[in-house]
Structures are given as structure tokens and as C-alpha cells.
Amino acid sequence: MDYSTFKALQILLFFGSAFAFCLWQLAAVREARRQRILAKDQHLDAKHPKSASKR
């Protein structure tokens, strides 16, 4: 393996890992947001049981 191939792989792995980390964080934030919304809806349904049955 020559030097240019090695450097290309190094760059690919560096930016690939950064991209994978960003995707992982995006998925974690979306899941946390979804959990928060579900908890909020359940809290509202517990306060108003009649409106929950109308859905």
C-alpha cells in the first residue's frame, strides 16, 4: 500500500466516523424527543380521561 492510498483511507475513516457519530446523535435526539412527546401525551390523557377515549 503506497502513501497516497494510506492517506485516502485515513481521511475516509476520519470523516466516515464523524458522519456515523452525527447520524447516531441524530437518532438519539429523535428518540428522546419521541419519548418526551409520548410521556407528555400520556400525562395529558391521565388528566383528561374523557378526551382520551374520543381519539
Domain membership of residue 38 (yes or no) is yes
The parts of the chain modelled with pLDDT lower than 70 are 49-55
Distance of alpha carbon 3 from alpha carbon 6, whole angstroms: 5
Domain membership of residue 34 (yes or no) is yes
Q: What is the pLDDT of residue 46?
A: 79
Domain membership of residue 15 (yes or no) is no
Domain membership of residue 28 (yes or no) is yes
> Is 38 within 8 Å of 44 (Cβ atoms)?
no
Domain membership of residue 7 (yes or no) is no
Q: How many domains does the chain have?
A: 1
Q: What is the pLDDT of residue 22?
A: 98
Q: What is the pLDDT of residue 19?
A: 98
Residue 45 is classified by DSSP as: H
Calculated CA dihedral for residues 20, 21, 26, 28, nearest 10 degrees? 120
CB proximity list for 52: less than 8 A, separation 6 or greater: 45
Q: What is the pLDDT of residue 32?
A: 96
Residue 44 structural domain = 20-55
Taking alpha carbons only, the member of 23, 21, 15 closest to residue 7 is 15
Cell numbers standing for residue 40:
407528555
